[in-house]
Amino acid sequence: MLIERGAPEARVTACDCLGPCFDGPNAVLYPDGVWYAQLEPDDAGSLVEHLIDGIVGPKRVDPPGE
């Protein structure tokens, strides 16, 4: 989806644990550092909109500890 929208430089990086397992699956989008929780495959489009257009999606959550 990112390549189709003209963002081939975007990267997906796996990690072992972001901390709040009870709220997963989770993602953090950089450079903004915006957290998303309880993601499903159908949420990929809203994550792409965030990365390309800056539109924050409905599954945004506060980072742990805030």
Map out the domains of the chain as residue ranges.
Answer: 1-66
Angle at 33 between CA 19 and CA 53, to 5 degrees: 135
Residue-averaged pLDDT of the chain? 88
Query: In angstroms, rounded to a whole number, what is the distance separating the alpha carbons of residues 1 and 10?
Result: 11
pLDDT at residue number 1 = 84
- Quick check: 29 pLDDT over 80? yes
From residue 45, alpha-carbon distances to 20, 33, 49, 63 in Å are: 23, 18, 6, 21
- Quick check: 65 pLDDT over 80? no
pLDDT at residue number 7 = 81
Mean pLDDT of all residues in 47-59? 92
Closest CA to 43 of 31, 16, 55: 55
